[in-house]
Structure 1
């Protein structure tokens, strides 16, 4: 979770998780070739290690800058950690682990190294090793970076089906540092377990602490609709219609709720209001995103060909627009 990943002197970035196994788990009796490489790098002053890094084509300028500094100071733990973080943020997980394993061998007691190594192990899908490192890190309860370790361990639990353990860790992380991302992930886990009241309470708590966060409000609306508490869901939508500058999606959601409430005439009117709003916005500036929004309105109104036309134009304007492309494929498959 890159928003939760601390990068030295930089705003935390969101960490992307990948479930990719590489190699075998490092065993106490038989170190992997990775550790062997880092030990060798230590022995020879890591000249070959740095040469390997600089030979990598297309490296970001930041990587090159850190690498040049490492040539002059090959045993700098801080530089190795920085480069390991940058590698990870660019999806280069193997390179990241090489740097962080080397830093760990240089200083196994450095807590930043322990945490960053755990985050990269998690990104590689080496969950047992990552969890073990995080457990060790979390033994120190006063560390200000504890929230990042809790959030990462929660993510590991979640992707391994240990949902209750994940929720417990997310609860602890939220107590330390409430963020929209943490509330959302915990809420969706609670929804998946059918704990709808817990999810709703969490979204409401997040809204109270973080202000009018749209994603949290959408989560609360979703839960209330599943609970068939349509009047409350409708009231939440009406709040957004009153305050939003672009109201298309909210009119559309209002129509959906009214339809569930058995009020078809009002639902039809809400769809017409959504279309009028979409046309108003497109009259000012025709963007792929607004064309997608109008296509969604057309689809809700049963005007499928018009929806397809808008999606085709959106894709022409913004090639590789995945959401529009997927929506068009869905409509064409019917």
Structure 2
């Protein structure tokens, strides 16, 4: 059964479905609006617009279009998929799972169906099914976000060997994806495999034109293995490179990296001021808020101290 509250909103929301479109999708959605004015029951166009609304982050508009598509064509697999994805985003887990299961059992191959299935399993506490389903998704379409999501399941249950193996697989499949490599470095260090962690960093630095981020990663690894002098040298080198780069590329991401370097060097007040400046200029930058929260924790002050 569809959630009554959602069904009641269909008629109310349908006319507003394109009003709140994300600016980046506006032209594409407007073109589909025009097509639907001529043929309002065109299932292909309804599904296409539902997918665009989903990618723009407008779950209710996506649900409305997908629900209308299902009303016209109850067995259309793409309509069921989009409705299932939208229902999951809206918190209607049971109905979402029903749609996703129908889509998959009738031969659907879209990787997003597997992603939603995995997340539904995780939400009900079934990490085994969640991990297995993500592995199936990665086999169909290797993506950094899926490799990280699977690895975080392993990390959350303390299975660092499994996490490392998954990240190694992802690194090979994706040709050295930056975010996967960084996660693998941290898991390798947590497992005590410091040589592998440093090897991964050196490999990254041979390809990078800007080393500061990797210098900070290597400093953390070296500090973890007790090589504090080398860690200090890496952090100072990272800060020097960041400061030099800011003269020609004064982005908030670089300023945020500078705050990280200052924090790692124990210069907490400077780090806080730098991070606060980033938040003021770019309030949507989640990493800046996270770093500020870290600095406000007295326990984290101790963590970032350079004292042995």
> Which TM class, normalised by the smaller chain length?
0.7 to 0.9
Looking at CA atoms only, which structure, 1 or 2, has the larger radius of gyration? 1
Contact 1:234/1:257, CA 8 A, preserved across alignment: yes
Are the equivalent residues in 2 in contact too, given 1:292–1:310 (CA < 8 A)? yes
Structure 2 CA distance for partners of 1:261 and 1:137, relative to 1, 3 Å: same
Aligned alpha-carbon RMSD (Å): 2.7
Sort the Cα spacing of 1:329 and 1:153 in 2 relative to 1 into closer, same or farther, 3 A: closer
Map 1:98-177 onto structure 2 (within 5 A).
98-141=64-107, 143-145=108-110, 147-177=111-141
Q: Distance in 2 between matches of 1:287 and 1:84?
A: 35
1:84 Cα deviation from its structure 2 partner: 2.2
Is the 2:219–2:234 Cα contact (8 Å) retained in structure 1? Answer: yes
1:211 and 2:187 equivalent? no
Q: Match for residue 243 of structure 2?
A: 279
Query: 1:77: how far off?
Result: 1.1
Match of 1:26 in 2: 2
1:297 paired residue among 249, 261, 278: 261
| TM-score calculated relative to the size of structure 1 | 0.78
Where do 5+ consecutive residues of structure 2 fail to align?
299-308
CA contact (8 A) 2:18 2:33 kept: no
| Deviation (angstroms), 1:72 | 2.2
Match of 2:15 in 1: 53
State the Cα distance separating 1:67 from its structure 2 match.
3.0
CA displacement 1:180-204 (0-9 Å, x = unmatched): 2221111111111222222111111
Distance 1:183 1:86 in 2: 24
Deviation of the 1:280 alpha carbon: 2.2
**1:83 is matched with which residue: 45, 49, 57?**
49
| Unmatched segments (≥5 aa) in structure 1 | 1-24, 39-48
Aligned-pair CA distance for 1:118: 0.9
For residue 148 of structure 1, report the CA deviation from its aligned partner.
2.3
How far apart are the structure 2 equivalents of 1:320 and 1:239? 32
Give the conservation status (yes or no) of the 8 Å contact 1:50–1:71.
Answer: no
The structural deviation recorded for 1:254 is: 1.4
TM-score (norm 2): 0.84
Contact 2:17/2:61 (<8 A) preserved? no
Q: 1:95 aligns with which of 48, 54, 61?
A: 61
How far is the alpha carbon of 1:165 from its aligned partner?
0.9
Deviations 1:68-117 (A, max 9, x none): 33232222111222232233333332332222222112111211111111
Which 10-residue stretch deviates more, 312-321 or 83-92? 312-321
1:99–1:277 Cα change, 3 Å: same
Match of 2:184 among 220, 237, 240: 220
Q: Flag the 1:37–1:275 CA change in 2: closer, same or farther, 3 A.
A: closer
For CA contacts below 8 A with separation 6 or more, give which structure has more relative contact order: 1
C-alpha deviation, 1:122, in angstroms: 1.0
Pairing partner for 1:66 from 12, 32, 53: 32
SS in 2 for 1:284: coil
